A and B are shown apart, each in its own frame.
Chain A
Amino acid sequence: MAKPDAKADLTPAGQAVQDKPGHSGDWNSAPALVQVKNLKVYFPVYGGLFRRVRGYMRAVDDVGFSVPEGSTVGLVGESGSGKTTTGRSMVRLVQPTAGEILYRGRDVVGLSKREFFPYRKRMQMIFQDPFNSLNPRMSVEKILTEPLGIHFPRMSADERHMRCARLMEMVGLKPDQLRRYPHEFSGGQRQRIGIARALAVEPEFIICDEPVSALDVSVQATIINLLQDLQEELGLTYLFIAHDLAVVEHISDYVLVMHQGRIVEQASSEVIYSAPQHPYTRQLLEAVPRL
């Protein structure tokens, strides 16, 4: 694993910002940053007198896909379809029951906590609800320095402060707002803080779990634009989870449609819109309000 980079340079070291792969190119032949194979996440269902395991809820059932480097893969589905569980299991917030998650070719499922630690720095997550995902008792500076303290322990206090100020600028906030607390910000600004926190440790891969669902449409547009700008600037790879197909189509190069724990369709975003194959995809498309 790369040594902690003391210089507050946010471009991932040694990685050239590459062009996005063409939309029409073959998805699975593109070099994959992350590959998911036969991923299963089952939750035990308890019942009966002694709360014994009565069965399993198959939240994610035999899911496989790959995320090409530098691209955005959209994951759509309604609530309960297992899309969030898929995203969370990729960063080991949920332990997969079976399957492989290959990060740059290395399976990270079987790793111990310690072995997985360097990967946490490379994979970050942005959460849905900007109101509950920030600790209300921490100032923004504290929120942003906490991951730095964990992953860059040798960084000096000054460097950390500099990095925070830089992060704030990157996400369109003012560095002098660092001393403020989350409640002093609007929903869109809080989501920007959530993005800054994810960027703090220089990740390569960010899982965006419904980052705009809780926001007004007008704010939604600014956050989507910000995510796209950051991707271009830093060469990030995204897994973009959402229930709104219009948003996903806009931001993604490839789209996965999930239904009841399975992926029912995967294609480039143009194809999925112009020629949806699965009836569920068509149903999702119809649900999008038209102007």
Chain B
Amino acid sequence: MIKQEGTDNSPESGSDKLLDVRNLCIDFQVHDEVHRAVDKVSFSIAPGEVLAVVGESGSGKSVTGLSLTGLLPPPPGCRVGGEVLYQGRNLLECSPRELRQYRGKQIAYIFQEPGTALNPVFTIGHQIAEAIRLHRPGVKDVKAEIVKALDMVKIHEPERRFEDYPHQLSGGMQQRVMIAMALACNPRLLVADEPTTALDVTIQAQIINLLRELRERLGMSIMLITHNFGIVSGFADRVAVMRQGRILEQKDTSGILKSPEHPYTRALIGCIPVLGRKLHRLPTIESETRQEQEHGQT
């Protein structure tokens, strides 16, 4: 586990948690019905740690990530309960003004589809500059910072590239720009919401390697939200498996891959086709959950 410079407490001790989420509940109101999207979810992330939140679509993993810095719609459409303690401060009680000090600066995001997350009418340099001007008003030479950020995510010729518009870049490059933008303000926590789902496997491997490298260099924590157990191994320190708004199990990565306790976790791991292990049929979640019901487990 990589530790933040200057922090030598073990990540397990309570005071050392960078982010501590306790009993997070998220309710959406649709017409007159209230749907609970996230139900009493608790997890914590230590400095420098990578926590993967794995679940199928609809499991509530993305809204959990969004709720951290108040990115969900305001009440009455959506209500967030519980506590989100960031370095001891409850972000859910912050005013919008205070929240803006955290969002982007302390906690940054990378979203799933870089094509839609970037603004098509501004150059990528302009969009990165926006983040720097907002959160680091002391920076004089913004251009140098942009070039530095683009260089960090291994975009060649950043001096020329930063005048490009998003459509001039490929999907992998766009995702690099998103990462550059997120890292421009040196965040302590990066929430990566399905960062590679829209990308090819080769590009996916590159982006994951890049994230791994950056976290070692910068010592930041990452909350990786994904549906694919494949990218979790070799990258995340701990895994939380989410289903229907609840965390089913939470363990270190090797433990969960070797001996998943919950049948659902087993099913999620089992349904990924593995090279060289050719089965006649892929196991699916449905068949596993049926077994689960038969065994009377939940």
Chain A bound to chain B: yes
Which A residues are within 8 Å of any B CB, using their own CB?
A: 78-80, 186-187, 216-222, 224-225, 228, 243-247, 249-250, 269-270, 273-274, 283-291
Bound-state Cα–Cα, A218 to B242, Å: 13
Asked if A287 meets B278 with Cβ closer than 8 Å, knowing A218-B271, A220-B271, A247-B273, the reply is no
How many residue pairs at the A-B interface have CB separations less than 8 Å? 104
The interface residues of chain A, by DSSP majority, are classed as helix
B223 within 8 Å of A (CB atoms): no
Specify which chain B residues have a CB less than 8 angstroms from the CB of A186 in the assembled complex.
57-58
Shortest B282–chain A CB gap in Å is 4
- The answer on a CB contact under 8 Å between A245 and B275 is yes
The interface residues of chain B, by DSSP majority, are classed as loop
Which B residues are within 8 Å of any A CB, using their own CB?
A: 56-58, 170-171, 200-205, 208, 227-231, 233-234, 257, 267-269, 271-276, 278-279, 281-286
Chain A residue nearest in CB terms to B271: A221
Specify which chain A residues have a CB less than 8 angstroms from the CB of B231 in the assembled complex.
289
Q: Which among B57, B200, B203, B257 is the interface contact of A216 at CB below 8 angstroms? A: B57
Bound-state Cα–Cα, A289 to B271, Å: 14
- The answer on a CB contact under 8 Å between A218 and B56 is yes
Specify which chain B residues have a CB less than 8 angstroms from the CB of A289 in the assembled complex.
201, 204-205, 208, 228, 230-231, 233-234
Specify which chain A residues have a CB less than 8 angstroms from the CB of B275 in the assembled complex.
245-246, 249, 273, 285, 288
Bound-state Cα–Cα, A283 to B281, Å: 27
Asked if A245 meets B230 with Cβ closer than 8 Å, knowing A221-B271, A221-B282, A222-B284, the reply is no
Chain A residue nearest in CB terms to B278: A250
Bound-state Cα–Cα, A243 to B205, Å: 12
Asked if A291 meets B200 with Cβ closer than 8 Å, knowing A187-B57, A286-B205, the reply is no
Chain B residue nearest in CB terms to A284: B202
Bound-state Cα–Cα, A219 to B55, Å: 12
- The answer on a CB contact under 8 Å between B201 and A288 is yes
Q: Which among B200, B203, B227, B281 is the interface contact of A218 at CB below 8 angstroms? A: B227
Bound-state Cα–Cα, A246 to B273, Å: 6
Specify which chain A residues have a CB less than 8 angstroms from the CB of B281 in the assembled complex.
225, 228
Bound-state Cα–Cα, A51 to B265, Å: 56
Chain B residue nearest in CB terms to A280: B202
Bound-state Cα–Cα, A20 to B199, Å: 32
Specify which chain B residues have a CB less than 8 angstroms from the CB of A219 in the assembled complex.
56-57
Bound-state Cα–Cα, A270 to B275, Å: 10
19 A-B pairs in the complex with CB atoms less than 8 angstroms apart: A216-B57, A218-B268, A221-B284, A225-B282, A243-B202, A245-B275, A246-B273, A249-B278, A274-B276, A286-B205, A287-B201, A287-B202, A287-B205, A289-B233, A290-B230, A290-B233, A290-B274, A291-B272, A291-B274
